[in-house]
Amino acid sequence: MKMSRRTLLATTGAAISCETLAARAASAKPQRKTVTPSRLARPSAVDVKPFMPRGQYRVNVAEAGYVEEEWFASGTDDTGQDYVTLISVMRPKDAARFSGVVLVEPFHGAGIAPICLYTSPYITRSGHGWACVVSQKTALEAHVQKSNPEHYASLNIQPATASSGPVPGAAPPASNGPIAARVAASERANQASNAILAQTGAALRTSGPFEGWNVRKVILMGHSGTGYVCTNYIANAHGTHRLAGGAPVFDGLFPSGYPGEAFGPRDVPLLQVMCDGDAPDATTAMAGGFGVAGRRYRRRDSDAPDDRYRLYEIAGMPHMGTRYPPYTDPRHWQSMETAGRVPLDSTMNSLPHHEMFEMALAHLVDWVNVSRVPPRAPRMQLDQAGRYFAKDAHGNTVGGIRCVQMDVPRATYYACPRKEDGSAGVGTVGTEVQFEVAKMRRLYGTPANYQRQFNERLDRLISQGWFLKENAEAMRAEAKAQQF
């Protein structure tokens, strides 16, 4: 599955500000409603290749013992308008391999599913189910229906009408102008997203692709644009849209890559991931003006029963991972508006972005599924002015969750592109500048000593829970290949 060079990871879906979501949730306590599960059915043309999000994945689905399917979901949104939309599913071929966990990811407005793109090796080796719900009208029309107009002609999601009233999360970003107008239009077009996520989440527990499979836990997850979609759901639907009996639709929440307001208490675990590149400058929102400036997402971790929360800030990591082809090629990013300035002679950031997301998601799944409490992480440190993240003698970020390459470095890792003068820029991808041979010899002496320090630190990170042992072999091979 290939991702277009023109794919924009941070689309208008990510631009919607959460500045007033916490205040709105605190000031208004809408009544709970029992969710009517969506009706799930296979399309009549079952010989059509299932629609799947674009991107270069690191697993072969068939070799992993999985199958891909598509299902149509129908129901009525919160404004009384009917919808029919698509769910792309990846599940074990053999029900005996199913872990009992279904991971639900909204379909991104850029035609991708970032969390699955990053974590598909973990998902498949763990036996989890994955369901990508097309909850946004704009994404449905821009990608799904254009891919096969005849096959998907019956799909439809309705926008807000004049009588719909205010759309949750409708506050414009702090900056006015074109972004604010685009945000307002996106909010009204995608007003049904929360209802669709709640209804499909409820349906996936007992019907459709996992019917009879003993689904125990359902988790909502998203990154960047879908990080916002999840954030909007948490703020405006998690507390109100409930299963029969009052239980939440989703047993755990994994919003990442969207710097909104700090999350308040809720009745299920929430693990939030923010990469170094998601909020590199406290005076600026994310690339393109998306998100909320000031790093106001930051708050304390908690184990309170009504506020189980972890914030994982991952040092050195860009918004998007560029460790694997085709994303290692600077030419890939030249036409992507939100990538930032990426000179053609750049070396793309090679830190294990995807593997760190696997680690974080595994911690949330274990917290939800087997009540294994995840470790608390230090925050990335700020410079004296508090604007940027502090840097060490090598130019790498201090603090936060560390991968082994940050602690036993061979390069300076930039989480965002740099401006022409070398100062920190803003963008969704990062670069690196490898140390010269003389510096490597000064730091480590010999390649063998470098490899020893690397492996010792990697072992320590694994024992502390900051890296999955299943991903260690590739890291050790990277260290072994270094010559200087």
CA–CA gap between residue 183 and residue 181 (Å, rounded) = 5
Between residues 440 and 13, the one the model is more confident about: 440
Average pLDDT, the chain: 90
Question: In this prediction, what percent of the chain has a pLDDT beyond 70?
Answer: 88
* Whole-number pLDDT of residue 224: 94
Q: Is the pLDDT of residue 161 over 90?
A: no
Q: Could you tell me what percentage of the chain is helix, strand and coil, using 3-state DSSP and rounding each to the nearest 5?
A: 30, 20, 50
pLDDT for position 168:
66
For residue 233, pLDDT over 70 is answered with yes
Q: Can you tell me the distance from the alpha carbon of 41 to that of 188, in angstroms, rounded to the nearest whole number?
A: 28
Collapse the DSSP code of 432 into the 3-class scheme (helix H, G, I; strand E, B; otherwise coil) and give the result.
strand
| Strand segments (E) across 201-269 | 217-223, 241-242, 252-256
**Residue in the structure block whose two tokens are 């755990």:** 252
pLDDT at 13: 38
Q: How confident is the model at residue 286 (pLDDT cuts 50, 70, 90)?
A: low
Number of other CB atoms surrounding residue 463 within 10 Å: 10
**Average pLDDT for 75-97:** 97
Tell which phi-psi region holds residue 440, choosing left (phi > 0), alpha (psi between -120 and 50) or beta.
Answer: alpha
What residues does each domain of the chain span?
A: 23-256
Examine the pLDDT at 12 and tell me if it is beyond 50: no
**SS3 call for 452:** helix
Is the pLDDT at 420 greater than 50, yes or no?
yes
Q: What is each CA distance from 98 to 203, 217, 289, 436, 449, in whole angstroms?
A: 17, 12, 41, 48, 43
The encoded tokens of residue 245 equal 């009996």
103-152 pLDDT, tens digit per residue, is: 999 999 999 999 999 999 999 999 999 999 999 999 999 999 999 999 99
Q: Which residues pair with 380 in a beta bridge?
A: 399
Q: Listing from the earlier edge strand, what are the strands of the sheet with 431-434?
A: 347-348, 431-434, 411-414
How far, CA to CA in Å, does 135 sit from each of 104, 207, 233, 402?
11, 18, 11, 34
| pLDDT at position 333 | 95
| Nearest residue to 362 via CA among 118, 197, 131, 198 | 118
Quickly state the pLDDT bin for 162 (edges 50, 70, 90): confident
399-410 confidence digits (pLDDT tens): 999 999 999 999
Neighbours of 453 (CB within 10 A): 17
pTM: 0.92
pLDDT over threshold 70, residue 14: no
Please state, in angstroms and rounded to a whole number, the distance separating the CA atoms of residues 232 and 112: 19
Query: Measured on CA atoms in the order 470, 473, 478, 479, is the torsion positive or negative?
Result: positive
pLDDT of residue 228: 94
Nearest to 85 by CA among 156, 28, 151, 139: 156
Which pLDDT band, with edges at 50, 70 and 90, does 24 fall under? very low
Bridge partners (DSSP) of residue 39 are 74
Q: Which tokens belong to 330?
A: 């600077």
